Amino acid sequence: MSRLRSQDKLKSILKDYFVCLSSPLAWCTSVGPAEILRALGFNVYFPENHGALLGASRTAGKYIPRAHQAGYDDEICSYLTADIGAYLMGETPLSQAYGLPSIPRPDLIVFNTNQCREVAEWFGFFGREFGCPVVGIMPPRHITEVSQADIDNVVGQFEKAIKIGGEIMGRPLDYGRLKETVALSKQGAVLWREVLETARKAPSPLTFWDGTILMAPIVMLRGTQVCVDFYQEMLDELRQLMNAKQAAVPDEQVRLFWEGMPIWGRLRALSDLFAENHAAVVASTYCNSWVFDCFNPEDPLRSMAEAYTRVFINRSEDAKLGILRELLDNYHIDGIVFHDSKTCFNNTNSRFNLPGRLQKATGVPSLTIDGDLNDLRFFSEGQVRTKIETFVELLKTLKQ
């Protein structure tokens, strides 16, 4: 981690982004319709990013108990509990990092349950706190294919969000601006895919651990020129590294796939552990969740509806099996690590025998580790270390 020049660029981009988060401001889920909000003229803030920051800064453990006191169970989404707990304690890492006095106050909150119903409860809490409108996009869930009827359904819900957003802004949506925003999202998503695909090459110039940090613009600045320029520069940097045969993991011997949520408070430790064992984690469903192939500026609402309903987390087990098979093949994967994240069953895919069916279909072995995105009480350092070291040794033996 942190070998790339793009990391420095990212710091200045994020600073500019956070200090400009003033009203009119909308909150949005990470795979929600940010383009609509931007085109309406809102600044857009993403509470999941804040949840991840609480995890990465290892402050989540301080805040989660406060949410429990307020009645939120200790086995529900630890983004939600960390974020609500931090709010109730009047603290945020954004103060120290960017000088913000608090999380930014919303004029509108929009969520999409394409990822989980937890976001409805989480964003609903803040809607009540701030007394602002909350609009939920609720697409069909766990689908194998996305039908035209599914797209019609979601477009209808987008139109409701557009109407409410337009009333707050005091002007209707400019569809020309929406087209431009979707065009920028498309360019950003294409570049993000190309960035990730540099890891198809062995040795890889990029790991999943780099990706978890460098994905911030495609999540938070999707639909802006800043995002497009950042990934163009990053792609150039990665191509230079590839030409110079500079590997992210020296002496890369096995190539792994990470399935499930990151363990935000242990990114560095896990990155080091895999690197020490000459194992490069080169791809993940998590980072690939922001590769959107469907955006079409000529048909912005329908293409957004399709892109956001097709996301991996919203698909059936059969569809997930197909997507994973393709990724394992494209990235020349030797083994998969499934993260069973205690407080996010929505983004845990090891519980209905997907690892077994995937191994049967591809021959690629897998390991499941227990942990959590933010709540480190569910993560056992020693146990995970032993399991990973043993698994990597097995993969090395199988490759001989």
Residues that bind ligand SF4 (CB under 6 A): 48, 77, 79-80, 115-116, 118-119, 261, 344, 346-347, 373
Q: At closest approach, how far in Å is the CB of 243 from ligand SF4? A: 37
Q: Quickly count: other Cβ atoms within 10 Å of residue 80's Cβ.
A: 26
Residues 6 or more apart whose Cβ sits within 8 Å of residue 314: 114, 115, 139, 141, 142, 143
User: Given the complex with ligand SF4, which of 4 and 369 has the nearer CB atom?
Assistant: 369
CA dihedral defined by 308, 347, 287, 337, rounded to 10 degrees?
Answer: -150
Q: At closest approach, how far in Å is the CB of 19 from ligand SF4? A: 26
Percent helix / strand / coil, the chain, rounded to 5: 55, 10, 30
Element (H, E) at 281: strand 279-284
Q: At closest approach, how far in Å is the CB of 258 from ligand SF4? A: 15
250: cis peptide before it, omega within 30°? no
User: Given the complex with ligand SF4, which of 137 and 228 has the nearer CB atom?
Assistant: 137
User: Given the complex with ligand SF4, which of 182 and 270 has the nearer CB atom?
Assistant: 270
| Exposed / middle / buried, residue 155 (Cβ in 10 Å: 0-12, 13-18, 19+) | middle
User: Given the complex with ligand SF4, which of 213 and 242 has the nearer CB atom?
Assistant: 213
Residues 6 or more apart whose Cβ sits within 8 Å of residue 328: 257, 336, 358, 362, 364
Q: At closest approach, how far in Å is the CB of 358 from ligand SF4? A: 21
Q: At closest approach, how far in Å is the CB of 346 from ligand SF4? A: 4
Residues 6 or more apart whose Cβ sits within 8 Å of residue 43: 20, 21, 22, 23, 24, 25, 26, 104
Q: At closest approach, how far in Å is the CB of 132 from ligand SF4? A: 20
User: Given the complex with ligand SF4, which of 82 and 241 has the nearer CB atom?
Assistant: 82
φ/ψ of residue 101, rounded to 5: -70, -25
User: Given the complex with ligand SF4, which of 309 and 346 has the nearer CB atom?
Assistant: 346
User: Given the complex with ligand SF4, which of 48 and 306 has the nearer CB atom?
Assistant: 48
Q: At closest approach, how far in Å is the CB of 291 from ligand SF4? A: 17
